[in-house]
Every structure is written in structure tokens, then in C-alpha cells.
Amino acid sequence: MPTKRARKNPSVAQKPPSPPLSEKNAVITQDIPEEEGAKRESTLRDESYTPELFDEDEEMPEETENTIDPDTGKAAKRTAEYALGGGGYNALKSYKGQMYSGMAVGGSHTWTYDQGTWKETKEEPDLWRIDYQTNKRRARKAPTGSGAPVGTEYHWLIVGHQHVKKIDANTYETHLTGSKYKLAYKSASSNAWSIPTVKKQREREVELLDDAKQRVQGLPPVLASEKVKVEKREKGQQRLDSMFGKAAGFLRNELPFYRVRYTIRRGGTETSINTPRYTTVFGVDDTSTFVIENSESTSSNSETSVQDDTTNNLLDPPPANSPILVDSKTRTPLTESKSKSKYRCRPRPIPPCLDILRQAVEKATDDGTRYNFVLVNYYATGDDSISYHSDDERFLGQNPTIASLSLGAGRDFLLKHKPGAAGGTTDTDRAIANAAAKPLKFPLKSGDMLIMRGETQSNWLHSVPKRKGLQGSAGALGRINITFRRAVVPGGTENYYRYNVGDGEVYRWRDEEGKMVATTE
């Protein structure tokens, strides 16, 4: 059974105030280490534990970003997600007469979950028993002195809504929202839970479920005829989404990919770089072209199979009836001898499956750009990424147009101004520069196309950062990103094949293993 990834949203905004839980559990036990291994307890009442005492580790707010709403095109500033109560993280606080410590009411955690296994067992026609196990990690580092000691355990009762949408035969989009109640906890130094017996924990669970029931009953009244909202889709959108998903799967399964390793010099020192994603590239710059043998017609898109050789040797004989690389002006084949060769790499024609997309993108951009290169990046997991950079190489010419098509899982695309791009020395200029330094975030979904043109590369940097747990609908599929470019001189060809093919192993997708596997092809 495929893994379902749940995106948790701990917010309970828009809900009525919590009806106070039973006052019988009104004792506070502080488990705050004064030094390593030390334990301090303070009892406020002569009764047993209150489960509202400790929170899991707190975190500070993430770096503020401006998120671009894809529907309105406007920037929506994300606010800090942490609320610190008076007195610090572990100070005692009061909420509607209830004492507690840890994060103040109104704060929030942000966690990332490793890929785990969600198992469902059907017990009744409308009832499944679920079992899910994984590790969760902080999105940011813990503030100094916050959180409970290592070894502390928690027992939560989660009451939530899981929305699931089938994407293809083996992939589902899932979104989980709701509430979680602290049922019990066990400190690192204790041999018993705060509610030590099974009977008492069951009674506590019934009490919490009754609280959840009261919350639902306390929601604003609705008319009997009011329908549950259905996601609005443009006509044909479902068919397009299915097509985009199939296209991503096809390209992942059919194309040869590479995990390029190379060295660069920084400050006089050589640094080894391992590309943090799978890459591949097809095409050749304006000074050369592909022709079919015994034909004068140019062919950049008539290859019948995708070659994956990494010898980078132009002297190797091409397969029969395959396009031949020639000089654009003289039509002289570029395979006569290594000493006369224009390229050290071996350019490859754009295969039909990508050339169809190239032609469609040229028509959609409608600015006269004719692309001769197709670069494909495969982000298999949220750990695959590309750091901030700009495509401002001279071999692309001045103010190049670059089209970027996303297929499969959604990922965030970040843009930020290059340092000094805003210019100026006054306070106003510096304020503008500081605002410009904050990244803009574009959540790109399957089928989205982003165009970078004009002075974008001169003034902006862009990246696809790591994200634990892929966003969107195709976590198991990963993200295929296809960029269409035009290189005008041989330096572009050399650059693209060096950094996107290299001379290492060829990787192919293996369905039986569910991952990219290095091959000996």
C-alpha cells in the first residue's frame, strides 16, 4: 500500500473557546532541569497530575518570507508562529483559571515528518483502524533552555479531519487538520505515566472526546440545505492534472539521469560539489545543429530513443539512422577527428517527448524565443534542492528568456534580489534594500509554468530549497522540472553537459525498487 503523507496543521483558529476540562486534575508538576540530570517539582494542589502541563519542544519563528498567492498574484506576508508568554518558556502561566507551563497559548510548532508507513485496517463498513509510525523533526532549532528533557514521552489523543484525493492508481493527496489533546505524559526520570492506570486513561479519553463533541456542537448553526464546499475546477482541469502526472511519471521512467560530481575553485582552494538532485540535458547551441543522415533537413527532435552514453567522445560511431551533429553554417559533420572537434562533450538531440513540450512552450511564451536546450531536474525527495543562483551566463546572451515547467509534486520556488541590486545609500534606499532581501515564495504545482525574462537574471537569484515532506499531490512521484533555454555559443553546450551529464554513472528509475538506481549502461 502506498504511503500517505499527512500535512499537519495544529491551528485551531475559528473554534469556540475551549470549555474547561475537569477541575479534578488541577495539579502542576514542573519538570525543569536546573542542571543536567537535575529535577525540580512544585505541587500547587494536593492532587494528581494535570495533562495540560508540558508541551513538546518549542521553536522560534521561521524566517519571514513573502509568499505569492497564485490566485491573486499578491504578496502575503507570513507572520511569526511563536507566542512567548510572560516569564519565559517554562514559567507557570494561567489560561481561564487553568495553570500550565511551556509554550504560551497562541503559539505554534512547525515539524517535518520523515517518510513513514501509514497502515489502515478496515474493521467496519465506515471504520478503519490506523497505525502510523515515523520520526518528526523540528523545522528550526530549539531555543536554548526550552522544551522537556530528552526521554520525556507523550500520549496524545488526535481528533481530526483527513481529506484525501486520488491522483493516480498509486498516489493520493492528503491533508490532515484538527486538534490534539494531551492525554498523559511520562517524564524521563519516572517509571510511571502521569495518569498511571489504563482505567484512568480511558476515563480521561472519554472526557476529552466529550470536550471535542461540545466543540462541534458549539459551532455556528447551519441550514439543513447547506452543501459541503467542493473544490472549484476549471473545465478540463481534472484531465489536465491527470495528464501532467502521467507526463512526470513517463519522463522519470524513460530519461537517463545523472548525479553529477565536479570541483570548483573558491579562494584558490578546490571544492568538491555533489549535485543535490538528478539532472539530464539535451540540445546544442546555435552554432551547430542535428541533421538526419542523407537528408538536408534539420532534426533536433527526431531521435527514436533516448541515448544515455556518458563517454563524451565524438569519435564513437552514432547509432544507425540517428541525427548527425553538423556545423550550422558549413554543414560539416563534427565527428571527423578529436583534434578538430568543436566540443569535448557529446551533444544529444532533444528527444520527441521533450521536443513536443518545447514547441508548446515556444507557442505559449509567444515572444519569438526559439529554445535549443532542454534541461531536466528530478527532485526525488524533499532533500533534493538547488541553491540560490542566477542563469546569467554570457553564453545565453543578454536578457535571456527561460521557461520553467513543473510536473509532479509541488515545490516552493524562491526569488530574492541580488546583493546591491537595489542600490542607493540613503536610509530610504537601505530600507528598500532590506525589504528586497526578503525572498518571494512561489508555490509551484504540477502543470505550472514560470517564465523568467528581461532583467530577471541580472537582478534576481532563485532557488528550490529543501523541504521535508513533499508538498502537493505526488510525494511518491517527486518533482520533474523542465527548463527551456537558448545557448548562442559553444561555451553553453560545454557548460550544460559538464554540469548536467558529467562523466559519472547513469541513473534509471526502477519501479520494483521505487527509486533511482545506478546502472552500467
Report the alpha-carbon distance of residue 288 to residue 314 in Å, rounded.
14
DSSP secondary structure code for residue 297 in this structure: S
Report the alpha-carbon distance of residue 34 to residue 81 in Å, rounded.
27
Q: Is 355 annotated as a binding residue?
A: no
DSSP secondary structure code for residue 114 in this structure: -
Q: How many CB atoms lie within 10 A of CB 251?
A: 23
Q: Is 377 annotated as a binding residue?
A: yes
Q: Are strands 8-9 and 171-186 parallel, antiparallel or unpaired?
A: parallel
Contact 298, 501 (CB under 8 A): no
Q: Burial, 127: exposed, middle or buried (Cβ in 10 Å; 0-12, 13-18, 19+)?
A: exposed
C-alpha cell of residue 449:
509554468
Q: Is 483 annotated as a binding residue?
A: yes
Report the alpha-carbon distance of residue 520 to residue 507 in Å, rounded.
9
- Rounded to the nearest 10 degrees, the angle between the axes of helix 237-254 and helix 352-365 is 140
Q: If you count DSSP H runs as helices and E runs as strands, how many of each does the chain have, helices first?
A: 6, 26
Report the alpha-carbon distance of residue 357 to residue 248 in Å, rounded.
12
Q: Is 344 annotated as a binding residue?
A: no
Report the alpha-carbon distance of residue 151 to residue 148 in Å, rounded.
8
Report the alpha-carbon distance of residue 238 to residue 246 in Å, rounded.
12
**Which of 434, 402, 401 has its CA nearest to residue 417?**
434
C-alpha cell of residue 435:
525589504
C-alpha cell of residue 37:
540530570
Report the alpha-carbon distance of residue 403 to residue 482 in Å, rounded.
8
Question: Letter for the amino acid at 384?
Answer: D
What long-range pairs does 392-395 form, CB within 8 A, spacing at least 24?
A: 392/457, 392/458, 393/491, 393/492, 393/495, 394/489, 394/491, 395/285, 395/487, 395/488, 395/489, 395/490, 395/491, 395/492, 395/495
Q: Is 462 annotated as a binding residue?
A: yes
Q: Is 161 annotated as a binding residue?
A: no
Known binding-site residue numbers: 377, 379, 389, 392, 462, 479, 483, 485
Numbered residues of the known binding site for substrate: 392
Which residue numbers belong to the known binding site for 2-oxoglutarate?
377, 379, 389, 462, 479, 483, 485
